[in-house]
Amino acid sequence: MRTRTIGSLDVSVVGLGCNNFGGRLDEERSAAVVHAAIDTGITFFDTADIYGGTRSEEFVGRALGPRRDRVVLATKFGMAVDEQRQGAKPDYVRRALDDSLRRLGTDRVDLYQLHAPDPTTPIADTLAVLDECVRAGKVREIGCSNFTVAQLQEAALAAREGAARFVSVQNEYSLLHRGPEADVLVECERTGIAFIPYFPLASGVLTGKYRSDGEPPAGTRLAGMPADRRRGLLSVGNVAAIERLSGFAERHGRSLVELAIAWVAAHGSVASVIAGATSPEQVRANAAAADWVLGADEVAEVDALTP
């Protein structure tokens, strides 16, 4: 599988999002997904302390076992695990990292990410303690998630000379969620920060298995969403666009899933497209997109098919 870089890290162009582990998937099914991902050439695994009520990290750690050194392991902190465990204050960052290392069964996190901005803590304080974690050998690179351009610029100014600084930002991006093109992707191109898109399949809508006039199957991501969010994703405009995109994919002998992932990967700042999976079959379907390189004309044609 093709690789790209996040700071000093070499990652597969298609990654595995582990947000289903410990929630929709039990440990056995999670392990099956992990092993299938490694077998398809996926080397970038992205989880977070809040996923599955902290069980995702535990499941990932146990599933990797002796294969730990074959992957680039990313996790996140900052969103509320409970009332006491949340935010980005220095003392909590130290605790959160040690907790994640214990759950993951490893001595370092390759990419440690602030899951969301913490308005109660100066970003300089958070960066200082993250630099401490890097110098201690517990973290290799640091990143952030759900940051605006203004917040990225604030963090860049706050980072001390020679200290660790954010090498990546992880925000939502897909054929049906194009907002980053207007700002964050431009900033990433300007500064060299890697962009890591999450929800590249728009919470499963870009698999083509949902209809606007029916209820989503029980157990699917959409079924667990608030009704207004579900209606937005399955709007008449989105469903019509999906039909057009499916036609484009079929003309190229590909699936809609492959198109959705390959299109995101075609944007220069994108490092690894992290897609979740609930089965080995879904992992293999996601990984199949890695070798589809869309040219500029094809990207423009696909752009014209979306809302």
Residues with catalytic roles: 51
How far, rounded to the nearest angstrom, does the alpha carbon of residue 227 sit from its chain's CA centroid?
Answer: 24
Q: Which two tokens stand for residue 61?
A: 């750690």
Widest pairwise Cα distance in the chain: 55
Name residue 100's amino acid: S
> How are beta strands 44-46 and 72-77 bridged, if at all?
parallel
What residues pair up with 84 in beta bridges, in sequence order?
none
Place of tokens 């000379």: 161
| Distance from C-alpha of 54 to C-alpha of 86, rounded to nearest angstrom | 13
From CA 12, how far away is CA 272, in angstroms rounded? 6
Rounded Cα gap, residues 273 and 289, in angstroms: 10
Are the beta carbons of 97 and 89 closer than 8 angstroms?
no
How many CA within 13 A on the CB side of residue 19? 11
Best CA proximity match to 48, nearest among 30, 25, 27, 74 = 74
Kindly report the backbone phi and psi dihedral angles of residue 115, in degrees, each rounded to the nearest multiple of 5, phi listed first: -70, -30
